[in-house]
Chain A
Amino acid sequence: MISRRDFLQVGMAASAMVGASGFGNWGRLAAQQSLTQDQLLDFDTFGNVSLIHVTDIHAQLKPVYFREPEVNIGVGENKGAVPHVTGAEFKARYGIADGSPNAYALTYNDFSALAQDYGKVGGLDRVSTVINAIRAARPDALLLDGGDTWHGSYTCYHSEGQDMVNVMNALKPDAMTFHWEFTLGGDRVRELVEGLPFAALGQNIFDAEWDEPADSFESYKFFERGGVKIAVIGQAFPYMPIANPGWMFPEYSFGIRDERMQEMVDEVRAQGAELVVCLSHNGFDVDKKMASRVTGIDVILTGHTHDALPEPVLIGETILIASGSNGKFVSRVDLDVRDGRMMGFRHKLIPIFSDVIEPDAAVTKVIDAERAPYEAAMNEVIGTTDEELYRRGNFNGTWDDLICDALISEREADIAMSPGVRWGPSLLPGDPITREDIWNVTSMTYGQAYRSEMTGEFIHTILEDVADNLFNPDPYYQQGGDMVRIGGMGYRIDITKPQGDRISEMTLLKTGEAIDPAKTYQVAGWASVNEGTEGPQIWDVVENHVKKLGTVTLDPNTSVEVVQG
């Protein structure tokens, strides 16, 4: 039987032949551009230094579907600026044809239909193939991991990150920075970090008690590559104890600390650095602002906000690279560094089409070994979906709607709250929902589903607070994820207003009545940052709900009215 890989790798003539035979999707694909591994990897090696960037893999060892956001609103100076551009506007900006491989990889439009044609993305064995190909052209290329690597799957949870450490070690990174890793707990992070055969970086990882740089992490590391002295400075996620449970790693403090970043840049320049790279988990808009305040950084490899951009963004003399998430992309940045400065660059965001890129068998073996003990449990089919299930976007995705439905139904609540995290792969209509799929969108070390009473006033305060963390016009005051997802309640949000005035018209959907500030409601949620939160694990709540449904269908969610001014 002809596999998708064989098919995708054959040239136009053969595709046309298969197309002519009328095999459904294949016929359609034949009409589109054919795709080969060589095409994806095609790159005219440039200059004397190559950087390879992966970030926000969220423990996705195997290929997945990942739908990019439909709603991603920029505020303040970032209104209408990339990465706050989606869909048709994104395609127009970058000259991407409808239905093309890049349209599938970079936008949400026609996602399920294009996914049928182009298949899954990612898989760290495919990522390895791409890294190997770059290293074949440039043996001393630097591989840099932007973090959010040791979180996000069934195997990662049960092995406390060991699966990801073992697989990433096989890819031989040169340095890494951190975010969700810390939710494994301070002790476990130190245990893993101290065993790493590469640098663990974060100039903003501080000892909370003494307010000085933490012992287990270095601020920067020097590399000599292609005759160039390169300094890589790490920047961990600045708002870890706020966005995630600080009680799990009370010994650490973070923050943006851009004045210290400037000191580090000056320090490495004084030590002879000819190229300064910042491996960052700030998030794109925070990095943009930091690039405008800190001078002397040549390249910022951005992370956290999961943006995938086909071209670098230039801020002053600093280029910002955005490499997506979930193993879906690898960025290659070639640089010409001469006379102690960056003279030019060439960049490619390489989409990891898993049916086109040959897996690296050695890494497949490592992945399969990590998964073997858990395969039976992970592969159990819990239900089926009739919907495209996705999460990414400023407001509810369909996965969130399903999770909120599960919370309301299983926890007998009026209103449900689900965190606005950016991770979680997608499923296509008709797909089975396995236990692994549910864990991919819920797995975390603080997954208890609480149920508590909240007044209407308090619910409003929460929504205002989270909205300001997303829509504050100053990126330095944006704290973490997307908007908290709400089930059972509708509201109107005017993102142009200041905190306290954005949220209005809160309505309890089951009665159609306005939320009364003085009245108490039963609220179920998960991912509380408070210590001692009690309740069943969210993945069990969702599993029970899906089991009862059998087949997941959802009503279109129109409960949030967004005013953008």
Chain B
Amino acid sequence: MKLNRRNALAMGLGATAVAMLPMRAIAAADEAIAAFTGGAETGAGDITLDAPEIAENGNTVPISVSAPGATSIAVFAAGNPTPGVATFNFGPASGSQSASTRIRLAGTQDVVAVAQMADGSFVQTAKTVKVTIGGCGG
């Protein structure tokens, strides 16, 4: 039997399936990030990414990003088959450069946020979000 999410749900123990990340997904994330930055270097800086350590439901994971002074923030799910999640653009009249959304994660993976700052430079941060079968509640 092939192990997929539907089967896992039917199995009795799990809430969501755990899929090992295929290498090509990570390569796809690198490509998607490079497309956003135009290949420019990304550094650490004033960017925060809020995401749960362990997803309560891999199908809808709440995240929020914030990068004061950014003109644009892009979010990537490095382990998803299509890593690009969203790009938020902020005009000069934006009160703050932050955004929240919910994303779907195929399995345990890094969520990456990259911001383009007003001077054209890029800053990046990432957080590992675990998607687990669950159970065994202690």
Contacts and interface: CB of A to CB of B under 8 A. Distances in A.
A380 to B, nearest CB: 28
A421 B137 contact: yes
Interface stretch (B12-20, B27-35, B36-44, B88-96): B12-20
Interface string A493-522: 000000110000000000000000000100
B8 to A, nearest CB: 8
A173 interface: no
Given A243-B137, A476-B53, A500-B20, A462 B1 contact: no
The residue in A183, A242, A244, A468 that gathers the most chain B C-beta atoms within 10 A of its C-beta is A242
A528 B12 CA distance: 6
Interface string A443-462: 00000001011110110011
Given A253-B56, A461-B18, A520-B1, A420 B136 contact: yes
A452 B14 CA distance: 12
B22 to A, nearest CB: 13
Interface in B56-71: 56-57, 62
A372 B45 CA distance: 64
Contact of B14 (A179, A462, A477): A462
Given A500-B20, A530-B14, A455 B3 contact: yes
Dominant secondary structure of chain B at its interface with chain A: loop
A242 B8 CA distance: 15
Contacts of B137: 179-180, 183, 243-244, 419, 421, 480-481, 527, 529
B135 A466 contact: yes
B57 A246 contact: yes
Interface in A232-249: 237, 239, 241-244, 246
Most A CB within 10 A of own CB, among B8, B13, B15, B50: B13
Contacts of B135: 243, 419, 466, 480, 484, 527-529
Contacts of B82: none
B133 A465 contact: yes
A461 B2 CA distance: 13
B114 to A, nearest CB: 21
Interface residues of A, number: 58
B53 A530 contact: no
Given A457-B3, A458-B3, A242 B56 contact: yes
B132 interface: yes
A427 B80 CA distance: 49
Contacts of A529: 13-15, 134-135, 137
Interface of A: 179-180, 183, 208, 211, 237, 239, 241-244, 246, 253-256, 259, 283, 304-305, 417, 419-422, 450, 452-455, 457-458, 461-462, 464-466, 468-469, 472, 476-477, 479-484, 499-500, 520, 523, 525, 527-530, 533
30 contacts: A208-B56, A239-B54, A242-B15, A243-B137, A253-B56, A255-B56, A256-B52, A256-B53, A259-B50, A419-B135, A419-B137, A421-B138, A452-B10, A452-B12, A458-B7, A458-B11, A469-B136, A476-B53, A477-B53, A479-B132, A480-B136, A482-B136, A499-B108, A500-B20, A525-B12, A527-B135, A528-B13, A529-B15, A529-B137, A530-B12
Given A242-B54, A500-B20, 19 more contacts: A237-B138, A239-B56, A243-B134, A253-B56, A255-B53, A419-B136, A419-B137, A421-B136, A461-B3, A461-B133, A462-B13, A466-B136, A469-B132, A477-B54, A479-B132, A480-B137, A499-B108, A529-B14, A533-B12
